[in-house]
Amino acid sequence: MRNVYRTAAVLLFLTSAVVGQISYPDFSSIAGLDLNMNAAQSGNVLRVTPSVISQRGSVWTQTPYPVAFGFDMAFQFQITTPAAGGGDGMAFVIHNDPRLTTAIGNHASALGYGAFVSAAPGTAIANSLAIEIDTYSGSFGGFADSSGNEVSIHTGGTGDNSQSEGLSIGRVTPTANLSDGQPHVMRIRYVPGTLEVYVDDLTTPALSVPYDFATGGTHILPGTPVGGLNLMGGTSALIGFTASTGGAWENHDVLWWSTAVYETNDAAGSLDLDGLQSSGFSAAALSACVGQTSVLNSSGTGAYEVGIAYAPAVPGGVLTTAGGQIVNLNIFDPSLVYLNGGSVLSLAPHPGAFSIPVTFPSPLVGSAQQMTMDAGHADGFQLSQVPEVTIVTGGVAPTPMTLTLGDDATVQVVLSTTNPCAATVSFYGTAYSDFYVNSNGDVSFTSGHTDFTATSGEWQTLMPRIGILGDLEPNNFGTVTVTNNGSTGIGDWVTVAYASVTEWGTGGLGVTSYNIELHGPNGHEIGGFTTDGTWGVTPVVGGISLGAGGTHPPLVGFDALNGTGLQLNANATDSVIDENTGGMLVNTTGWTSLQFPLFDGSSYVVQ
């Protein structure tokens, strides 16, 4: 095939109808939506029903959305302010009910789309499919909810829908409590023949059921078939939300709503770098360094080609096909080339799954997307996700990362999260790719700790560490940050800064600051040490130690050694420890820095 990828894209524009997009980053604007009954805009939030007794609401797109060929969308919801136990829940609904954008069902257990037994015909939303977020356990029509924290997919085919579990084609109780007051994300992905629902985890479906809008599915409890929907023009429907309260109530809010902005991989054709996968709502993005090697993995079942551009992926795509696929590769960028054809698109039989090591010799931003011919797809081909790579030299500009540390807590810091070109930290001759920042003042290796009773014995018998340990209160006073300043050739220069932290339980007294520099200009260092003189009687230990694997000469007094020059120990495994069992480390001479130039305890300087 001699057509260039750009020509193929133009042909797609000419022959394919572009599907709709949903994009509400928040609901500061509700343009394009119709709201019914108690549904309302509440600030930047779409409140489908408020936390008031016996409410119901519905919200619909004003324009039909194409669903027949497949779609992928997600929304974030939050259920708050429960009363009388909280209830009843909300639903995402796809419908072609005769009432169109005014469609709404009963309140309470009907969740705004179903109907009471006594309701008049046509009350429930007919010709619909509803994905329930059911927060109140009950029974209706002889079938009971599995729990009061249930996701259940209901349809009556072209007839009336119902909250009865007899109309469920699939249900699950998620791990997360969906009415816990926290934001949760639901992703809904439909490929003709399969409907998937994801809850918080956007890569593994919580529920996957056989269903097709044309042919329907199966009601799981009675085990009876149910037909599909009568869609507008055979392809489209109105989509949106319903919710209700009854004798128990709560707020049912939607925070954002969006169709997928990135294509995802499929069994018919996939492409990735180092196994990274897109959820459809975030890029499969790799950050790496010049000289690092990654692996490009491809799989497919038909003829294929891979387009490659030295340009970032395009969120939302440069176009969306009639079959609902997103072309995230910038096919109009002049740098576009092809894996098989070079300057022209050239389909070739896919050899089966293969992996290609790729080493990046210079900084760049690039992306790629695979097209695999697939007669079973509405487009006749399957697009892969778009792996995106950013290659940098020497990492990124140093940016402090503020840690959230509770009282007597620990946080593991993985170097690769602080800098894409992170190397290691050498401590007593061992290279570490991570370390632990402890809220009571030290950095440790191999494990963190929650100890608040500083003793030299623990420094000599437990994990390797460096710092000044006392009972601190960083959860209420001061900050603790981590900054990766880049590689020094020996290891990463990392600064852990304890700024204006205080002695625990004093209401802000004992204000103390210092930096723990790993691979800094003076080796490992505890620098910039200051304390305001109001520290009480809480014990403090400071210095450097290999812990249980080290050797331990007598304790030293940093105050007496201030300004006396380089101190030498007998062994590289030696510790250097000062201790005050009745307060802050003694500092009458004004020392501010403890330096360990060889990254261990073999030598040190106090100044």
For residue range 376-398, list pLDDT tens digits in order: 898 999 999 999 998 877 655 67
CATH number (3.30.590.10, 3.40.30.10, 2.60.120.200, 1.10.3470.10) of 32-259 reads: 2.60.120.200
Q: Which residues have a Cβ under 8 Å from the Cβ of 599 and sit 6 or more positions away?
A: 426, 427, 428, 429, 490, 491, 519, 523, 524
Q: Is 80 exceeded by the pLDDT of residue 47? A: yes
What b/e string do you get for 370-400 counting C-beta neighbours within 10 Å, with b at 16 or more? bbbbbeebbbebbbbbbbbbbbbeebeeeee
- Beta-carbon-side half-sphere exposure of residue 48 (alpha carbons within 13 Å): 35
Q: How much is the pLDDT for 416?
A: 80
Q: What is the distance of C-alpha 559 from the center of its chain?
A: 48
> What is the total residue count of the chain?
607
Q: Is 60 exceeded by the pLDDT of residue 16? A: no
Q: How much is the pLDDT for 378?
A: 86
CA dihedral 440, 444, 447, 452 (to 10 degrees): -20
Instruction: Write the CA distances from 368 to 310, 326, 336, 411, integer angstroms.
Output: 9, 13, 9, 36
Q: Is 60 exceeded by the pLDDT of residue 532? A: yes
Per-residue pLDDT, averaged over 467-493, amounts to 89
Q: φ, ψ for residue 161 (rounded to 5)? A: -85, 170
Structure token digits, residue 119 = 């309701």
DSSP 278-305: --SSS-EEEEEETT-EEEEEEEESSEEE
In whole numbers, what is the pLDDT of the chain averaged over residues? 93
Angstrom distance (rounded) from CA 335 to CA 366 = 10
Structure token digits, residue 145 = 């909810």
Beta partners for residue 242, in sequence order = 58, 91
**Which pLDDT band, with edges at 50, 70 and 90, does 321 fall under?**
confident
Count of CB atoms within 10 A of residue 525's CB? 24
Place of tokens 């852990």: 496
Q: How much is the pLDDT for 290?
A: 82
Q: Is 60 exceeded by the pLDDT of residue 102? A: yes
Q: How much is the pLDDT for 397?
A: 62
Contact 538, 471 (CB under 8 A): yes
Decide if domain 5-11+266-392 falls under CATH 2.20.130.20.
Answer: yes
Count of CB atoms within 10 A of residue 361's CB? 8
Q: How much is the pLDDT for 288?
A: 81
**Which pLDDT band, with edges at 50, 70 and 90, does 268 fall under?**
very high
Count of CB atoms within 10 A of residue 134's CB? 28
Amino acid at 263: E
Amino acid at 339: L
**Which pLDDT band, with edges at 50, 70 and 90, does 18 fall under?**
very low
What would the pLDDT profile of 408-450 be if each residue is shown by its tens digit? 999 999 988 887 677 789 999 999 999 999 999 999 999 999 9
Burial class (CB in 10 A: 0-12, 13-18, 19+), 257: buried
Q: How much is the pLDDT for 2?
A: 35
Burial class (CB in 10 A: 0-12, 13-18, 19+), 473: buried
Angstrom distance (rounded) from CA 276 to CA 270 = 11
3-class SS of residue 379: coil
Q: What is the distance of C-alpha 323 from the center of its chain?
A: 28
Q: How much is the pLDDT for 490?
A: 67
- Nearest Cα residue to 474 out of 495, 496, 447, 456: 496
Q: How much is the pLDDT for 141?
A: 87
Angstrom distance (rounded) from CA 486 to CA 496 = 14
- Nearest Cα residue to 369 out of 343, 339, 390: 339
The residue with greater pLDDT, 287 or 558, is 558
DSSP 427-462: ETTEEESEEEEETTSEEESS------S--HHHHHHS
Q: Is 60 exceeded by the pLDDT of residue 15? A: no
Structure token digits, residue 207 = 């529920």
Q: φ, ψ for residue 321 (rounded to 5)? A: -75, 170
Q: How much is the pLDDT for 399?
A: 79
Q: Is 50 exceeded by the pLDDT of residue 3? A: no
Q: How much is the pLDDT for 12?
A: 42
3-class SS of residue 509: coil
Q: Is 70 exceeded by the pLDDT of residue 4? A: no
Angstrom distance (rounded) from CA 117 to CA 110 = 10
Q: Which residues have a Cβ under 8 Å from the Cβ of 291 and sit 6 or more positions away?
A: 359, 360, 361
What would the pLDDT profile of 124-135 be if each residue is shown by its tens digit? 999 999 999 999
What would the pLDDT profile of 165-216 be if each residue is shown by its tens digit? 999 999 999 999 999 999 999 999 999 999 999 999 998 999 999 999 999 9
**Which pLDDT band, with edges at 50, 70 and 90, does 159 fall under?**
very high
Angstrom distance (rounded) from CA 495 to CA 505 = 27
Angstrom distance (rounded) from CA 449 to CA 411 = 9
β pairing state of 465-469 and 540-545: antiparallel
Q: Is 70 exceeded by the pLDDT of residue 14? A: no
Per-residue pLDDT, averaged over 101-110, amounts to 97
Count of CB atoms within 10 A of residue 255's CB? 18
Q: Is 60 exceeded by the pLDDT of residue 8? A: no
Q: Domain boundaries in the chain? A: 5-11+266-392, 32-259, 401-606
Q: φ, ψ for residue 339 (rounded to 5)? A: -65, -40
Q: What is the distance of C-alpha 30 from the center of its chain?
A: 26
Angstrom distance (rounded) from CA 368 to CA 531 = 54
Helices (H) and strands (E) in the chain, counts: 4, 48
Instruction: Write the CA distances from 140 to 90, 117, 391, 443, integer angstroms.
Output: 17, 9, 58, 58
**Would you say the pTM of this structure is higher than 0.85?**
no
Structure token digits, residue 219 = 């009601």
